[in-house]
């Protein structure tokens, strides 16, 4: 039986990038560390873990994974926190309706994280 997503994994190849990622997710967004070891960390997102390794080698490239969508209670508030920390909001907060049955209204925004990952802030309405 599949119960859900356990974790999403990212890698970076230098200690400064790892420190920026840890600061972004833990200090700026307020997530909690649940496991940490020499080469990595697991951070609780509330509905799964974000795993970040500090020993990644090679160039960064975007594959099939498009973005990480975080379930937030206030898209605008988190967008401002991220902007105030110096990160780019490349899609400003706005309302959308996903045309499913029944329709799903949401307020969303997109930013780049410290490892160049795309992050969606997703607030169901």
What domains, with CATH codes, occur in the chain?
1-56 (3.10.180.10), 67-125 (3.10.180.10)
Reported pTM: 0.87
HEC secondary structure over the chain: CCCCCCEEEEECCCHHHHHHHHHHHHHHCCCEEEEEECCEEEEECCCCEEEEECCCCCCCCCCCCCCEEEECCCHHHHHHHHHHCCCCEEEEEEEEEECCCCCEEEEEEEEECCCCCEEEEEEEC
User: What is the tens place of the pLDDT at every residue in 56-110?
Assistant: 776 566 666 778 999 999 999 999 999 999 999 999 999 999 999 999 999 999 9
Q: Which residue has the higher pLDDT, 77 or 6?
A: 77
């Amino acid at each position: 039986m599949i119960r859900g997503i356990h974790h999403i994994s990212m890698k970076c190849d230098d200690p400064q990038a790892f420190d920026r990622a840890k600061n972004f997710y833990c200090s700026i967004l307020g997530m909690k560390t649940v496991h940490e070891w020499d080469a990595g960390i697991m951070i609780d997102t509330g509905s799964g873990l974000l795993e970040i390794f500090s020993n990644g080698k090679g160039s960064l490239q975007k594959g099939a994974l498009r973005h990480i969508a975080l379930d937030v209670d206030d898209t605008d508030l988190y967008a401002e926190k991220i902007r105030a920390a110096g990160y780019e909001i490349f899609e400003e907060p706005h309302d959308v309706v996903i045309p499913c049955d029944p329709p799903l209204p949401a307020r969303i925004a997109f930013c780049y994280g410290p490892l160049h990952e795309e992050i969606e802030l997703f607030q169901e309405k």
